[in-house]
Amino acid sequence: MSESFQPNQSLVSSANLENARLNLIREDQPRIRDAAAPEPATLNQWIEAEAENYVEIQNLSFQRGSRIIYDDLTMSFPKGKVTAVMGPSGTGKTTLLKLMGGQLQPTSGSIIVAGVDVARASRTELFDVRKRMGMLFQSGALFSDLSVYENVAFPLRAHTELPEDMIRDIVLMKLHSVGLRGARELMPSELSGGMARRVALARAIVLDPEMVMYDEPFTGQDPISMSVLLQLIRLLNDTLELTSIIVSHDVQETLDIADYLYIIADGRVIGQGEPKEVMNSDSALVQQFMLGLPDGPVPFHFPSQNYRDDILEGRH
C-alpha cells in the first residue's frame, strides 16, 4: 500500500510534470503525484496513505439497550505501533474491537479503519476491510471441526486462488513462526489454551494483514506461554510492520509491550500516553487501576442501599 506511492514526493522530471498537470485537470485526481507510481484505486487509499493513524475513532457513542457503553470517545491508533487499551472489566474493551471490525454499529460517530468508515460501510466494503485486519479472539475461536492446519489455511482458501502446495508452504511458515509446525495434525480440542491462542495468532496473520487486534491475549496463560505470546506480538509487530491493538487488563504485561496506552473507564478515556506517563498520572482512577487497589474511585461494592437498612429490613 503506502510503499507503492508517496503523495508528497516531489516531481522529478518534466515528463512527470506534464503528466501531473494533466492529472490536475481531471477531477478524480485530487492531488499532484508521481506519474510513474501506480495509481491509487480509490479515494480511500489516498486518505489512508496520508494518515499516520491506521485507525481513527471520532466522537464515538455506543449504547446497548439503555446502557451507555461509550460516550463521545475519540482515540487514534498509529501505524506500526503497539497500542494498548486497558480498563476494568465490563468497560466494553472487547466491544471496542468489535466496533472497529464493524461487527457492531455505533450509535453515532465514526470509526475510520484503513481509510474506510466501518460504521457506514456496506457489507461488501466491510468484508474487504476485514481481509486487511486480523483478530485474535480471547478464546482463540478456532473452528472446532477443522484441524490446526486447516484452521490456518482457512483464510487462504477463502480469499486466494493459490495452489495447494503454496498454501501448504504458507501455512507451515506461519505455524513455524508461532512454534507449532509440529502440531498441524491436531484438532483444536487437543490443544492447550496457550497453544490454541498461538494457532489463532498464526491464522490471524496468515493473510499478512496490516493490523492485528488482540482481545485479552494474556488472560489465563501460564508464565511460559505468556512470555511466548509477549515475544510473538512484539516480534510480529516489528518484522511485519503491523499495527497492533491490544485490549487487556493485565497491567504488567501490557506495560512491557505497549508503545502507547489508553485507559478507558465509564465510556471515556481517563488516561493516555506512553506507559511511563500513564504510570505517573495523577488521576486517582488511573492510579487505582494501575496499582490494582481494591477500593477507590471504582468502589468495591456494587451500588446498593445502606448496609444497616438492608440487614434490618429482613427482620420485619
Partner 1 sequence: MLRQIESIGARGLEVVESIGRSVVFLYQSLVRVPRPRTSLPLLIQQLYSVGVLSLVIIVVAGFFIGMVLALQGYSILVRFGAEQALGQMVALSIVMELGPVVSGLLFAGRAGSALAAEIGLMKATEQLASMEMIGVDPLHQVIAPRFWAGLISLPLLGMIFSAVGIFGGMLVGVDWLGVDSGSFWSNMQSAVDFHRDVLNGVIKSIAFAVVVTWIAVFQGYDCVPTSEGISRATTNTVVYGSLAILGLDFVLTALMFGDL
- Hey, which bits of the chain come out as E strands? 53-64, 67-78, 82-86, 108-113, 116-117, 133-136, 211-215, 243-248, 260-265, 268-273
* Whole-number Å distance between alpha carbons of 260 and 14: 44
**Whole-number minimum distance, CB 125 to partner 1, in Å?**
11
**Whole-number minimum distance, CB 24 to partner 1, in Å?**
36
Q: Looking at beta carbons only, is 219 or 288 nearer to partner 1?
A: 219
Q: How many CB atoms lie within 10 A of CB 164?
A: 9
Q: Looking at beta carbons only, is 86 or 135 nearer to partner 1?
A: 135
Q: Which residues bind partner 1 (CB under 8 A)?
A: 98, 101, 103, 123, 127-128, 130-131, 133-135, 137-139, 141-144, 154-155, 157-159, 200, 203
C-alpha cell at 183: 502440531
**Whole-number minimum distance, CB 139 to partner 1, in Å?**
6
C-alpha cell at 267: 465510556
**Whole-number minimum distance, CB 141 to partner 1, in Å?**
4
Q: Looking at beta carbons only, is 73 or 200 nearer to partner 1?
A: 200
Q: Looking at beta carbons only, is 31 or 159 nearer to partner 1?
A: 159
C-alpha separations of 210 from 134, 185, 204, 315 in Å? 8, 28, 11, 63
Q: Looking at beta carbons only, is 244 or 272 nearer to partner 1?
A: 244
Q: Given the DSSP bridges, would you call strands 211-215 and 243-248 parallel, antiparallel or unpaired? A: parallel
Q: Looking at beta carbons only, is 52 or 208 nearer to partner 1?
A: 208
C-alpha cell at 117: 468508515
C-alpha separations of 41 from 38, 44, 209, 310 in Å? 9, 8, 19, 66
Q: Looking at beta carbons only, is 240 or 269 nearer to partner 1?
A: 240
**Whole-number minimum distance, CB 266 to partner 1, in Å?**
26
Q: Which residue has the cell 495434525?
A: 185
* Whole-number Å distance between alpha carbons of 59 and 63: 13
